[in-house]
Amino acid sequence: MKERRNPRPMRRGPMAMASQDRARDFKGTVKKIFKSLEGYKKVIFIVFIFAMLSTIFSIIGPKILGNATQEIFTGIVSKLNNAGGINFGKVHRILLTCLILYIISAICNYIQSFIMATITQKYTYKLRTRLSNKLHKLPFKYFDSKTNGEVLSIITNDVDTLQMSFNQALTQLITSITTVIGVLVMMLSINVTMTIVALLMIPLSSLFMMFVVRHSQKYFARQQDYLAHVNGDVEEMLGGHNVVKAFNAEESMLNNFEKNNQVLYEASWKSQFLAGLMHPIMQFISNLGYVVIAILGGYYAMKGRITVGNIQSFIAYTKNFTQPISQIAQVMNQIQAMVAAAERIFDFLEEEEEVFGTSKLDISQVEGNVEFRHVRFGYDPDHPVIKDFSIKVKKGQKVAIVGPTGAGKTTIVKLLMHFYNLDDGQILIDGYNIDDYNIKDLRKTFGMVLQDAWLYSGTIFDNLRYGKLDATKEEVIEAAKIANIDHFIRTLPDGYNMVIDEEMTNISQGQKQLLTIARAILANSKILILDEATSSVDTRTELLIQEAMDKLMKGRTSFIIAHRLSTIVNADMILVMQDGDVCEVGNHEELLKKNGVYAKLYNSQFEN
């Protein structure tokens, strides 16, 4: 078992990030968004122009329709007075003009929507590519402080939030502002007094909205928080369903889920109820305003200060005036969420990257001499895991590292592969400090088999070739034979072409471990690292692997981390670690004779 480092918080699912809907630095993040849109600014400006044109043309429509209504009304009155009739030709021209304006408005809206959707998809495509590239450049210490759910949320939820808000909110904001200004101008052109009365409805609506938002916000926050809890419960139940069933813990898990689900239900019900009140009461206030405007308009019409057509236009504008104000409030919430998501994305992209270096050292000439000189390291500098570690390993030697859990065994090989920077001391390969090598080139010299077998969804052949991407079919099969897994593979459906599913449930744990060993064999590296490589196989398979490992390690420097001490009795050097230091060094026979820590560990595995 690998030693644990600093404890991570429990994963609560990707939605846990969504509750953080406020940016720490709103202005700074907005500047970063605009800077990242450098190549799209001209196109976005064109989008805004089409959005405004679409809005302006649609705003003019009600005024023209009012003219048509007035023409019909005047014609009816004239006919009743036997003074003429309706001029249908003029009415048709007015309606045709209005239709053309609405068609132009629709075309402009379609063009801006098409362009904006294209820009958004291209922008988020590049953003996801940058995030993916960044993911592979981050040092291990970053992932020590972040859960998988947090990183996944940035790449999925935050990018989706940015995409949706960017596509909808920005154009909606410009159209809503244009609509409010345009409608206000048109209303003032019809009648100033009626406009003032209509505007008085806005503070009344705003007061109600503020009341509802203030009371519903806490329930929405609670809903989002417990949605993360429920998602986390489901994720845990699915991920550990075997363990849950094995310990008959179904009832306990269901009770915990029911408790969180009940809180989520209550918070969701209250938040949705309060939010649902907003529309009908806003509608009532709007209708109340229409009644007052209709009465006032009728009075002015009787006085001859306004036409019937203008009353119709004004009522239409009143309806169009309140809607964009509500939309602006909603859009501002969307923009807040978008900026918060963008802030997390930019924080991720600005994280300190691993420095790979530009060494001119020829990695192909590495022989495999390794030296640790007074190495000191801690995942937290104030709590060192490795305190003062010094050894010399000659090329071709087989070195076993043993010791209790938490002694620093796995940490040693991670430092050797330059996954972390040392707090003090040096690690040398062939006399050169590993800091002097290009890290990517350096890691090509290592073949590694971890305790946790990692394979990806794909064929067995492709998984084996992961160790050497240009390997031929014959080389892959030969590596599988050396690892004593060729027989296993040929008994599986489709053999080497069998697809390993995403959860890796269609092959056994032992077979997965054998595949990773074959992958390391194919890589044919100068230095081999085996971290509990035989921990997941049965005794018979372990013997087969041990035989294959002996062939593989011949002539190569090998570091073996093992809890099964029976697997390392033939090691050239055994390092016994305790509390971050080497307490004993020697081969198997020498250490047994010392009757120290190693002897106690070894004998304890064979006691009755």
pLDDT band for 16, please (50, 70, 90 cuts).
very low
- Domain for residue 305, yes or no? no
pLDDT surpasses 60 at 536: no
The pLDDT of residue 14: 36
Task: Read off the pLDDT of residues 232-271 as tens digits, 9 standing for 90 and up.
Answer: 778 778 777 778 788 788 888 888 888 888 888 888 888 7
Share of the chain above pLDDT 90, in %: 3
Residue among 560, 465, 454, 469 at smallest CA distance from 518: 465
* Nearest-angstrom CA–CA distance, 352 and 501: 34
pLDDT surpasses 90 at 104: yes
Encoded amino acid at 488, one letter: F
What is the average pLDDT across 199-219?
76
Report the phi/psi class of residue 85: left, alpha or beta, with left for phi > 0 and alpha for psi in -120 to 50.
beta
Task: Read off the pLDDT of residues 105-128 as tens digits, 9 standing for 90 and up.
Answer: 999 989 988 998 898 899 989 999
Residue among 389, 448, 421, 382 at smallest CA distance from 577: 389
Structure tokens at 294: 């209709």
- Domain for residue 519, yes or no? no
- Domain for residue 66, yes or no? no
pLDDT surpasses 60 at 389: yes
Structure tokens at 305: 């200060």
- Going by the DSSP 8-state scheme, the letter that residue 383 receives in this structure is B
Q: What long-range pairs does 123-130 form, CB within 8 A, spacing at least 24?
A: 123/36, 123/37, 123/40, 123/163, 123/166, 124/159, 124/162, 124/163, 124/166, 127/36, 127/159, 127/162, 127/345, 128/155, 128/159, 130/349
Task: Indicate the average pLDDT of the chain.
Answer: 80
pLDDT band for 74, please (50, 70, 90 cuts).
confident
Structure tokens at 514: 């054998």
* Nearest-angstrom CA–CA distance, 540 and 514: 13
Q: What CATH number is attached to the domain comprising 601?
A: 3.40.50.300
- Domain for residue 471, yes or no? no
- Domain for residue 262, yes or no? no
The pLDDT of residue 606: 62
Between 271-280, 458-467, 534-543, the lowest mean confidence (pLDDT) is in 534-543
- Domain for residue 344, yes or no? no
The pLDDT of residue 100: 92
Q: Would you call 575 helix, strand, or coil by DSSP? A: strand
Query: Domain span at residue 407?
Result: 355-445+559-608
- Say what the pTM is: 0.69
Q: Rounding to the nearest 10 degrees, give the CA dihedral for residues 337, 148, 218, 344.
A: -30
Give the count of domains, the chain. Answer: 1
- Domain for residue 372, yes or no? yes
Bridge partners (DSSP) listed for residue 433: 428
- Domain for residue 24, yes or no? no
* Nearest-angstrom CA–CA distance, 379 and 140: 10
Q: Which residues have C-beta within 8 Å of that of residue 241, sequence separation ≥ 6?
A: none
